[in-house]
Chains A and B, each alone.
Chain A
């Protein structure tokens, strides 16, 4: 697979030289491949927010490098700025960044900053609005008259309209009702499928991440202790619990079964996998 974004020995220390000095990232090697759906998981203060703000050049590393398409994003001022268009970042509670009179104008803020012509801006705004399910009427209305979930979708559309090759979303479903959560996750999935974009989903909810991503990166204490496909990561159930992350409920049940002495695969996290694991176990037992 082709690497699109990576960090090499990335370190970040906040407030150097003051009593508040704190290392948020320590020698992190992180890789994202083109077109993959990646999950970053870690509890509050683990360094995951610091990590993603390095990926689009909002924070400058105090040590190490960030490479986009193999080139250092801090090579020149222009490159740093361009990287922000290639690597779209949707912050937590993005609805608080809306500022324009109409939804249309707000979504067009990013594309306009890219210096695109009027026709291209219009196409992108309409396409982005379609991705997140906004109607023509809503586009012409004020963003401040929308509901919380709709506002958030406007904010996400504002980043999608830049058509980034990598789309990073920090807790995009925080504080939404179950229907809102499903809609947002479906919108992200649609964008991923339509543009073959790399998606990086940051979350603290194992359940949510487990059922959407191809690969999982665990951040703890400014380092990456585990990464891999979800099943691989969930094998470290105990360590994850100790980091305060926990594993999906299904995985926890199977870890318990294993602890009770059953020879069973504890890394399952979906019903289908669980069924398979139970069947495998019975087949082995029957054979004995």
Chain B
């Protein structure tokens, strides 16, 4: 079943240095890397960014296959971005057919744009593949906790996020099951025009919603039974602690940004 093959945001357990790194470090590294990507403006800078990410992927032991598979759903966006950049960048024209024209600047900007999106996605995959959803939300909560001062409900948002992440696989499985059950009664999800297909979804969506509400209700009761009442005064089983390699990684990230900016100043081709 195709539904089961969704890998977006799936955690691959492991014991590499990336898996053991503090989630806050990983989130900061990701942000730093994305920032660096947007500061890249020439070939050497991109080469450096690619090299750094390739190294990180190798260290994390997340297979190239898994990343390629995860890339598939966003391929359309990548292609569209590439095409738009290719045809709509003004500059020195080298080819023309009617209203379509390709410029030297267009080629460069298409290549850079595609690279940028792919690197961006790969780097966020690296984060979600090596960090369990629980740790990820823990890290986010900790990083955003200063916002509590201006009354942002950080803990509640983090809790909502962990619950949502936790239930994605459950709901996928449930959808699969209900689909099979209705197919066994002759339901047809694959043929007919748009209206017919939309109507065919009713026997799937009604039970799915009912079950989601039931689960939410049960979960709320279970949480209340354990005296859950929000983030106030809540302690943690696992305290997040920065280690020496966390500091090292952050320093390296800062160096990467500096290097990218410096490379951008080199008087090289685009």
Tell me which residues across on chain A come within 8 A of B183, comparing CB atoms. Answer: 58, 84
Q: Which of B84-92, B94-102, B140-148, B204-212 contacts A (4 or more CB under 8 A)?
A: B204-212
**How many A-B residue pairs lie within 8 Å, measured between CB atoms?**
57
Q: Which residue of A lies closest to B4 (CB)?
A: A15
Cα of A267 to Cα of B5 in the assembled complex, Å? 46
> Interface size bucket, A side?
20 to 34
Closest to B184 in A: A89
Q: Give the complex CA separation of A99 and B4 in angstroms.
A: 24
Report how far A159 CA is from B185 CA in the complex, Å: 7
Selected from B4, B181, B186, B188, the residue in CB contact (under 8 A) with A97 is: B181
B207 & A58 in contact (Cβ 8 Å cutoff): no
Question: How does the 8 Å CB contact mask read for B184-225 relative to A, with 1 for contact and 0 for none?
Answer: 111110000000000000110011001100000000000000
Q: Tell me if A91 is interfacial: C-beta within 8 Å of chain B.
A: yes
Residues from chain A with a CB closer than 8 A to the CB of B178 are 96-97
Shortest CB-to-CB span from B178 to chain A, Å, is 6
Where chain B touches its partner, the secondary structure class is helix
Q: Which residues does chain B contribute within 8 Å of A85, judged by CB atoms?
A: 186
Interface string of A94-121 (1 = CB under 8 A from B): 1011110000000001100110000000
Residue B243 lies at the interface, judged by CB distance under 8 Å to chain A: no
Contact with B along A31-59 (1 / 0, CB 8 A): 00000000000000000000001001010
Would you call B186 and A84 a contact (CB within 8 A)? yes
Q: Is the CB of B184 within 8 A of A84?
A: yes
CB distance from A44 to the nearest CB of B (A): 15
Which residues does chain B contribute within 8 Å of A98, judged by CB atoms? 207
Chain B residues near A84: list those with CB within 8 A.
183-186
Q: A144 at the A/B interface (Cβ < 8 Å)?
A: yes
Sort A-B residue pairs by CB-CB distance and give the 3 closest, nearest first. A113-B186, A99-B206, A110-B185
Chain A residues with a Cβ under 8 A of chain B: 15, 18-19, 53, 56, 58, 81, 84-85, 88-91, 94, 96-99, 109-110, 113-114, 144, 158-159, 162
27 A-B pairs (CB sep. < 8 Å): A15-B5, A18-B5, A53-B180, A56-B184, A58-B180, A81-B188, A84-B186, A88-B184, A90-B184, A91-B181, A94-B181, A96-B177, A96-B210, A96-B211, A97-B203, A97-B207, A98-B207, A99-B202, A99-B206, A109-B182, A109-B186, A110-B186, A113-B186, A113-B188, A158-B185, A159-B184, A162-B186
